[in-house]
Amino acid sequence: MPTYEYRCRKCGASFEINESVAQHEDAQHRCPNCQSTEVESLLSDFYARTSKKS
């Protein structure tokens, strides 16, 4: 499952949530620090693991 990063616009706290793509599209997230729904998704690095060796 992908990990998505968010930042609260109200208190500035950053947090991560592991969720499927379908959950990510439909969810209304809350800040774990202040419970605000004013959160923004952050761009983050990612990597993919494959069975092939390069």
Bridge partner residues of 4 (DSSP): 17
**Confidence at residue 8, expressed as pLDDT on a 0 to 100 scale:** 97
Sheet of strand 3-8, all strands in order from the earlier edge strand to the far edge:
14-18, 3-8, 39-42
Structure tokens at 41: 């998704």
Domain boundaries, the chain: 3-42
**Confidence at residue 54, expressed as pLDDT on a 0 to 100 scale:** 61
**Confidence at residue 39, expressed as pLDDT on a 0 to 100 scale:** 95
**Confidence at residue 14, expressed as pLDDT on a 0 to 100 scale:** 95
pTM of the model: 0.73
CATH topology of domain 3-42: Rubrerythrin, domain 2 (2.20.28)
Q: What is the pLDDT along the chain (54 residues), one digit of tens a residue?
A: 788 999 999 999 999 999 888 888 888 899 999 999 999 989 877 767 778 776
CA 47 to each of CA 2, 3, 29, 44, 50: distance values in angstroms, whole numbers, following the listed order: 10, 11, 24, 10, 10
